[in-house]
Structure 1
Amino acid sequence: MKKFCQIAFVLMVLLSSCQDKNLQIVSNQSTDYVIVIPENADSLVEHAADEIQYYMEAVSGAKPEIRKLADKPAGPSILVGWPVEAKETKPATVHISVSSEQLNIGGGNSRSVLNAVYFFLERYANIRFLTPGAEVIPENPYFSVPGDLDFSYTPEITTRTVHSRLFYNNPSFAAKHFVTQEAFPRYVPGARVHTFHRFLPESVFFDKHPEYYALRNEERRPTQLCLTNPEVFKLVVEAVDSLLKANPGAEVISVSQDDNTQYCQCEECKAINKHAKSPAGSVIDFVNRVARKFPDKQISTLAYQYTRKAPENIKPEDNVLITLCSIECDRSAPINEKCRDFAQDLEDWGTLTDNIRIWDYTTQFTNFLAPFPNLHTLKPNIQLFRDNHAKWVFEQHSYNPSELFELRSYLTAKLLWNPDADADSIISEFLKGYYQEAAPFIQKYISKVHKEIKADSDFFLFLYGDPSQAFDSFLSPDHLIQYDNWYEEAQAAVAGKPEILERVKRAGLSVDFALLEAARQQISPEIGLVQTNDDGSNTVSVITHERLERFKNVTREGNITLLNEMGYTIDEYVGQYSEMLKRAGATNLAYQKPVELLTSPKKYANEDPRVLTDGAFGGPNFYANWLGFEGNHMEAIIDLEKEVMVSEISTAFLKVTNHLVFYPEKVQYLTSKDGTTFSEFGVAGNQEPLTRKTRKNDIRNFTVERKPQKTRYIKIIATNILTPPYWHHGTGLPAWIFADEVMVR
């Protein structure tokens, strides 16, 4: 008993000592503190006071009053909104300190005061703002802060943007994560990026003034502007002036190249680029001249693709904002490891200007929901930008839901605020808060998929790639089955929590999508479109059919509507996949039959003609099992190996118009009994000819049905348009056609 009393006494002394070192703001759900704001507090500071009042009550049960300074009572107070007076203070600085019975939450400006409040709530009240509808608010009826608290922080990246609808559609959530509420803050609406065609629309000027546009192979094309034409400069200045006058509050306007690489090669433009040792030379020369006309505005332009290399012998004007883009980089490792040429470009631009905006990319734009294991690269990449003095960073996420969308949005925002933060801890705290008991299983998936891609040093994780590229790597059949099992266990762990279960199901969509795409290609006996019955016949895989139904239901319930940036919808994907399942389950007389190509394919599907009859089916991206023909027609002969009755022939073709993949003008089918003399079976024309309004991404079966006839050989001639029309950004370049499974019935 005596020993117990001694221990109790020591604990009481320690507790009393700890309390003496803390500023006790709430005690047993009661507080004497008052929130005080300046007499001239603006709406942001007033909102900051409202927020700390709301969350203090949520945490502790105590609701301190809000008073203006003139009404401040004697006694303890929480001062919100007083400027920080230290010499090193900048507008972005946040400051939190304790003096006697006073807690001071301030900043370099009103926005920073609000930032300081949210930082305080996270750091000292342990609140986590996970998503707009999910917050972790721990209860603490004895809320206190360290009595010696004196904290200041100035984020080195001062304009932080995460391209996620979680932030854009929820401004209050964006504020809690210190990121912008729009993609292009302070920009002129409608003139934010790729603006050359907006200033001089081809439909208005090209017919009468082709000289305003790029000279390519001795031919004028409306792909980019001729930047040495004096009339082009005059018209662009007039357009910029008009837009700025219509938007007097805007500070930035983009004068930037269009989204293609077909820049002008006239003698005058070539001379500037030669002197600058980069095609960026003519762009910077042009933009500098525009910037001198508007010295009180920022003129933004791109260092993107062909202009990414910094020029020599010319510097951007002080009011020119260089937006440097990392679109080509391999995302399987940090930029400093696998994209050294971009890192060098960043350093080189840094010697020319302090006015750099980074446009980085963090998702797979061709397949939003595909597994994209790049979480380990976010921190080192943002540190690279910070270390090279980039003050403005735009992380282009998918905007629409993608793999682990909520986690990615949360993590990226946290790292933009503090590039040195512990990324693993951030991921862990999010998983535990958002997925609760399911968190360990999702953590296993994240750890494993990243471990596997790190082990595959040759893998190129591309923004415009496809899951099929990883089926012998981090998405191998064994790995996919393991990932799927973990997500099944995750769902079981929260089966009694409907809201958390829905979150877990959404998280598992990436593995479901990868398995559906793997099934297209019949990559293993366990993962395929069809299953072989005891009698040797094939039927549609029940597992794949059920997975497609789950994918459809979860995306609909989660308001997930788009599969990629080209507008290909989930409904279209599900519909086409359902039709493909029917095709896969049907008898195909061409299945596994030999194919002879009379024209040459290029690059994709290993240029293997058997792709046309292998029983696997291509998806919405050209990497997945499509046989491609660039700038030439497709001619192939299939040998059915014996004479059979044929009444229908069908071939699937892909369309991805922004990547110069178009439907054939027509597909002609011919038949023969001897392989030498062919007669026409029928012609399937393109019912969706290419126009300015043509959908970017789609799949269509070119089918001919007729009265049955006996044949052994089938010739297919798909007519390529060869080059896009003059108004397309790829005009003058070779057009592609991509074909997949030929079905013969």
Structure 2
Amino acid sequence: MFRLMHTLIVLSALLINSACNTGKADITLVAQGKVQHVIVLPAEATKNETKAAHLLQDYIRRISGAQPDIITESNYQDQQAIFIGNTSHGEQYNTRKIKGEGFYIASDDTHVFIHGGSGQGVIYGVYTFLEKYLGCRKYANIPAYTPANKNIRVPARIFDLQNPQFIYRQVYYPAANDPEYMVWHKLQQLDDLWGIWGHSFFKIIPPNTYFTTHPEYFSLVNGKRQPMQLCLSNESVYQLTVDYLKKAISNNPDAIYWSIAPNDGGGFCTCDNCQKTDAAEGGPQGSLLKFVNRVASQFPQQQFTTLAYTYTSHPPKNLKPADNVFIMLSSIDAYRHEPLRSAASAAGFRKDLEGWAAITPRIFIWDYTTQFTNYLAPFPDYNHLQDNLQYFADNQVKGVFSQGSGATYSDMAELNSYLLAGLLWDVKADSKAVITGFLNGFYGKAGTFLDAYLQELITAVKTTHSKLDIYGNPVHNIKGYLSPALIDKYAQLLDKAEAAAETDTAFLNRVYNARLPLEYTVLQQSKFFGNEQYGYLTANNQETGSFIVKPNWPARVKRFVEQCKKAGVTELAEEGMTPDAYAASWDALFTRKWISNLAFHAAVTLAHPFTPEYTPKKEGTLVDGLTGDTDFSYNWLFTYGQDMIATIDMGKNKSINQIRMNFLQDPRHNIFNPVALTVETSADGITYQPAGTQTISPLSEEDNTARINTFAFKLPAVNARYVRVTARCLPAMPAWRNAAGKKPALCCDEVYVL
């Protein structure tokens, strides 16, 4: 059925092409399994022209079983031919300009001509010929589909000129690990283009080598030299950078770009000389661009990039990037449920793009198409991908790094990669047709139901006014597009998809993979619901109010983890846990005994507000019977920049022997232990008696390990109705953890009264 479906697609395409060439007979390349054409190369063919010819020869053989000969133009004797590359016979069509890695596919009444521009243009032309005219497909990092056909015909008198919209096109998904996929879809990889990429300061001048002996090379932060960024006004830093690049360029002369950019994080230099430049240019982007321009002037034949990201995102007041410097602007702060050209959250990005575009035509965009904190969470931004790329094109952007989930599988990874690749080449492509073609080809009969599932997700985001945050999680939208009721609706469509694909194991497994995000959402939300409906716990003893794990839950987690491994999930979040580690975290939950808390579901009042986006259960988080793990997004009361003062009302006096609570320490996310804890009790809610105080020493040196710390207070059988816990927040970020504009946060859970 799969082969039949593709045969119909190919026949339809040929009929359409024929309709566009009314009155012109098709050209027959293969008739009844016999080759009618030879493949002709220039007398002195390039490496890429030769590769393109052999690719075409191989695929014609795969389709028809017949293999055309490859000859040079000097040996050509007026046979029917497919001319590849810069042949003299193809010059008649070389009247319209091929730009960059563009190409043309042309034909007269007898011959076919495929000619490319620079780089791999001619190879791109062959792959496009295979897909557009011969019906081949490369859906993912799997073998290409080739139809079986003993008769291969293509339209006569066509001229198909294609030029790339962007000179740099990267889609960062697992399919990028397949070399043929990359070339087929005209994509590039940063490793192939950049000699040094991204956040590069410490790749050039590593602190491990220089900081002890030359702290002046590094940024002055809060009056102290710290290995956070470089001091860009230091002459030795400039000279070391130039020396590094001379050697690196010599060792890698084929690299096109070289990045000179700050590390990911804060801590820009505030020494007098750097501050002087920054004051004149409106911020630290001034000292960065001044430095990059100066280095770039020493290498006029090379192309450099730097990052307009976080504290360097704004354009400078006076400076302009040098002619060999590209600005790579990040869109990291925008939500993804609306197009970037109109979303309120993208207003700052739009202003920065307009500002940079006013001073340079050399702009790349670092864009984001996944949820980094939960790669497997449904992230239905699919309907905005084309509009976003068209917006970039409208603003003369020259290249796009579309950052997905990298090497690990994620929500609709194959579709996202396939669609983005096509749009990066041609932003005006019919995205609906591309999506439909992909779903029907990649999922077979199940494609119709996958399409309905995606449309339901897109519609639900809009009707529930949900936000798509690249740093969100499935619990944030528990009342939005990921509500249990809507999840049931999505599940019914995926059930139908499974039923439609059940006779084909390949299609069925792809549907299972597409279902992973929904199953992940159910599992993650079950941690939030806990002992409530949709939770992973069930009542064990009505009298004691204890709970146990639902009998089917361990097997459900096991199935999920096994399918993750089949799909190629290597981590569930950026720098996050592996499927095995995820299974281990559930095993820890399964073995955790229910603790009968005297304050279970008691009323809680707070003196200071919690942070709602991280605390969906509100005050009740402290006494819901569920304890948080090292992910601050689940089951923690998150208090930002203020003390946590929580008063728990148990409803009546109870005999208390111990009060125990957990705090999360996760410096990477600016979450720290309290510096002091005080516990008090009261019988009337007016007069409180001290039950204990603990002082906690803050971290004195860098330690980004996430860990849970338990603090306990023993009491002499006190009778009380109220318990008040006061956790004093760290007053300021530690000197080693510089995060501009950020305050320390507290995360508490659970408060046990025993």
What TM-score, normalized to structure 2?
0.86
Per-residue CA deviation, residues 143-171 of structure 1 (Å, 9 max, x unaligned), is 1111111211111212211112321x211
Which residue, 88, 102, 118 being the options, matches 2:111?
102
What secondary structure is seen at the aligned counterpart in 2 of 1:161?
A: strand
Which residue, 294, 297, 302 being the options, matches 1:297?
302
How far the C-alpha of 1:280 sits from its partner, in A, is: 1.9
How far the C-alpha of 1:95 sits from its partner, in A, is: 1.0
Cα distance change of structure 1 residues 672 and 348 upon mapping to structure 2, 3 Å threshold: closer
Inter-partner Cα distance in structure 1 for 2:206 and 2:649:
51
Letter in 2 for 1:415: L
Task: State how 1:35-434 maps to structure 2 within 5 Å.
Answer: 35-82=39-86, 85-86=94-95, 88-109=97-118, 111-167=120-176, 169-180=177-188, 182-188=189-195, 191-206=196-211, 209-338=214-343, 339-399=346-406, 400-434=408-442
Letter in 2 for 1:141: K
Residues 732 and 743 in structure 2, CA contact (< 8 A), matched pair in contact too: yes
Letter in 2 for 1:427: I
Which residue, 633, 638, 644 being the options, matches 1:628?
638
Inter-partner Cα distance in structure 1 for 2:36 and 2:617:
77
Inter-partner Cα distance in structure 2 for 1:455 and 1:115:
41
The answer to which of 375-384 and 49-58 deviates more is 49-58
What secondary structure is seen at the aligned counterpart in 2 of 1:293?
A: coil
Per-residue CA deviation, residues 238-270 of structure 1 (Å, 9 max, x unaligned), is 333343344343332211122224433444434
Inter-partner Cα distance in structure 1 for 2:501 and 2:531:
31
- Say if 2:482 is the partner of 1:475: yes
Inter-partner Cα distance in structure 1 for 2:283 and 2:455:
41
Per-residue CA deviation, residues 512-549 of structure 1 (Å, 9 max, x unaligned), is 11112222222996412223479475332346544323
Letter in 2 for 1:405: A
How far the C-alpha of 1:107 sits from its partner, in A, is: 1.0
Which residue, 587, 592, 609 being the options, matches 2:619?
609
The answer to which of 240-249 and 298-307 deviates more is 240-249
Inter-partner Cα distance in structure 2 for 1:273 and 1:466:
37
What secondary structure is seen at the aligned counterpart in 1 of 2:35?
A: coil
Inter-partner Cα distance in structure 1 for 2:299 and 2:83:
42
Residues 364 and 398 in structure 2, CA contact (< 8 A), matched pair in contact too: yes
Cα distance change of structure 1 residues 86 and 240 upon mapping to structure 2, 3 Å threshold: same
Which residue, 644, 653, 657 being the options, matches 2:664?
653
Residues 608 and 642 in structure 2, CA contact (< 8 A), matched pair in contact too: yes
Cα distance change of structure 1 residues 648 and 672 upon mapping to structure 2, 3 Å threshold: closer
Cα distance change of structure 1 residues 554 and 96 upon mapping to structure 2, 3 Å threshold: same
How far the C-alpha of 1:707 sits from its partner, in A, is: 12
What secondary structure is seen at the aligned counterpart in 1 of 2:193?
A: coil
Cα distance change of structure 1 residues 521 and 22 upon mapping to structure 2, 3 Å threshold: same
Cα distance change of structure 1 residues 381 and 213 upon mapping to structure 2, 3 Å threshold: same
| Partner residue in 1 for 2:7 | none
Cα distance change of structure 1 residues 446 and 616 upon mapping to structure 2, 3 Å threshold: farther
Letter in 1 for 2:638: G
What TM-score, normalized to structure 1?
0.87
Per-residue CA deviation, residues 186-240 of structure 1 (Å, 9 max, x unaligned), is 322xx31222233343445445555444444545444333333334333333333
| Partner residue in 2 for 1:6 | none
Cα distance change of structure 1 residues 236 and 709 upon mapping to structure 2, 3 Å threshold: farther
Inter-partner Cα distance in structure 2 for 1:288 and 1:161:
25
Q: How many pairs does the alignment contain?
A: 720
Per-residue CA deviation, residues 80-133 of structure 1 (Å, 9 max, x unaligned), is 222663352233221111134211111113511100000001110121110121
Letter in 1 for 2:384: T
Cα distance change of structure 1 residues 607 and 474 upon mapping to structure 2, 3 Å threshold: closer
What secondary structure is seen at the aligned counterpart in 1 of 2:241?
A: helix
Per-residue CA deviation, residues 391-429 of structure 1 (Å, 9 max, x unaligned), is 221111110211011111111111111111111211111
Residues 81 and 110 in structure 1, CA contact (< 8 A), matched pair in contact too: no
| Partner residue in 2 for 1:451 | 459
Cα distance change of structure 1 residues 292 and 447 upon mapping to structure 2, 3 Å threshold: same
What secondary structure is seen at the aligned counterpart in 1 of 2:710?
A: strand
How far the C-alpha of 1:441 sits from its partner, in A, is: 2.0
Inter-partner Cα distance in structure 1 for 2:713 and 2:72:
81
Residues 93 and 154 in structure 1, CA contact (< 8 A), matched pair in contact too: yes
Residues 361 and 397 in structure 1, CA contact (< 8 A), matched pair in contact too: yes
How far the C-alpha of 1:174 sits from its partner, in A, is: 0.6
Which residue, 654, 660, 666 being the options, matches 1:643?
654
Cα distance change of structure 1 residues 722 and 533 upon mapping to structure 2, 3 Å threshold: same
Per-residue CA deviation, residues 650-692 of structure 1 (Å, 9 max, x unaligned), is 536363x432234x38997968686844556999999xx7976
What secondary structure is seen at the aligned counterpart in 1 of 2:535?
A: coil
What secondary structure is seen at the aligned counterpart in 2 of 1:518?
A: helix
- Say if 2:555 is the partner of 1:550: no
Residues 675 and 730 in structure 2, CA contact (< 8 A), matched pair in contact too: no
What secondary structure is seen at the aligned counterpart in 1 of 2:139?
A: strand
Per-residue CA deviation, residues 174-194 of structure 1 (Å, 9 max, x unaligned), is 1111101x2243322xx3122
Inter-partner Cα distance in structure 2 for 1:88 and 1:198:
40
Cα distance change of structure 1 residues 648 and 309 upon mapping to structure 2, 3 Å threshold: closer
Cα distance change of structure 1 residues 37 and 650 upon mapping to structure 2, 3 Å threshold: same
Inter-partner Cα distance in structure 2 for 1:598 and 1:152:
67
Identity %: 30
Residues 93 and 112 in structure 1, CA contact (< 8 A), matched pair in contact too: yes
What secondary structure is seen at the aligned counterpart in 2 of 1:470?
A: coil
The answer to which of 64-73 and 30-39 deviates more is 64-73
Inter-partner Cα distance in structure 1 for 2:448 and 2:707:
39
Which residue, 509, 513, 516 being the options, matches 1:509?
516
Cα distance change of structure 1 residues 39 and 725 upon mapping to structure 2, 3 Å threshold: farther
Per-residue CA deviation, residues 41-87 of structure 1 (Å, 9 max, x unaligned), is 23322221222122222223322222233444542111122266335
Cα distance change of structure 1 residues 211 and 683 upon mapping to structure 2, 3 Å threshold: closer
The answer to which of 590-599 and 94-103 deviates more is 590-599
RMSD: 3.5
Inter-partner Cα distance in structure 2 for 1:222 and 1:630:
27
Cα distance change of structure 1 residues 524 and 77 upon mapping to structure 2, 3 Å threshold: farther
Letter in 2 for 1:548: V
Gaps of 5+ in 1: 1-13
- Say if 2:589 is the partner of 1:580: yes
Letter in 1 for 2:436: S
Cα distance change of structure 1 residues 263 and 490 upon mapping to structure 2, 3 Å threshold: same
Residues 601 and 607 in structure 1, CA contact (< 8 A), matched pair in contact too: no
What secondary structure is seen at the aligned counterpart in 2 of 1:148?
A: coil
Which residue, 451, 460, 474 being the options, matches 2:467?
460
Cα distance change of structure 1 residues 422 and 581 upon mapping to structure 2, 3 Å threshold: farther
Inter-partner Cα distance in structure 1 for 2:390 and 2:430:
12
| Partner residue in 1 for 2:745 | 736
